[in-house]
Amino acid sequence: MSELKLTGKVIAIMKKQQVTDTFAKREFVIETDEQYPQMVKFELMQDKCDLIDKHRVGEEITVHFNVAGRKWSDKQGKDVYFVSVKAWRIEAEKGATGGGDAMPTSDAEPPADTFADDLPF
């Protein structure tokens, strides 16, 4: 798979989750700057959890990531498929002032449909 990367503004940074004794993850969300902006949630795993620490809500960043998918079968034999978007490098955009709102990390869900006010009617 070719290198995947996406640029956008950080809109949410969640707290680190210690899933098991040996596994930790952290999530964050960026919003793309397009005609129809997309809010994309990324996961950081293990030693990568701290990569988002030097970035703030409101900052423009580029995220380098991999897409991973897996299948899980429940007790009734029904197959369920999962997709993860796993970040492995984060870069501040050139010329970014590094900031915007200095909001603390949260467990809150990202805001819903923030571009609805852009409609012309």
List of domains in the chain: 4-107 (2.40.50.140)
pLDDT tens, 75-96? 999 999 999 999 999 999 876 5
pLDDT at 61 over 90: yes
The arithmetic mean of pLDDT across residues 56-75, rounded, is 93
- Per-residue pLDDT reduced to its tens digit, 18-27: 989 999 999 9
How much is the pLDDT for 23?
92
| Residue 111: pLDDT over 60 | no
Question: In this structure, are strands 39-45 and 17-20 parallel, antiparallel, or unpaired?
Answer: unpaired
Identify the three-state secondary structure at position 12: strand
Q: What is the pLDDT of residue 1?
A: 62
State both tokens at 35. 């005609």
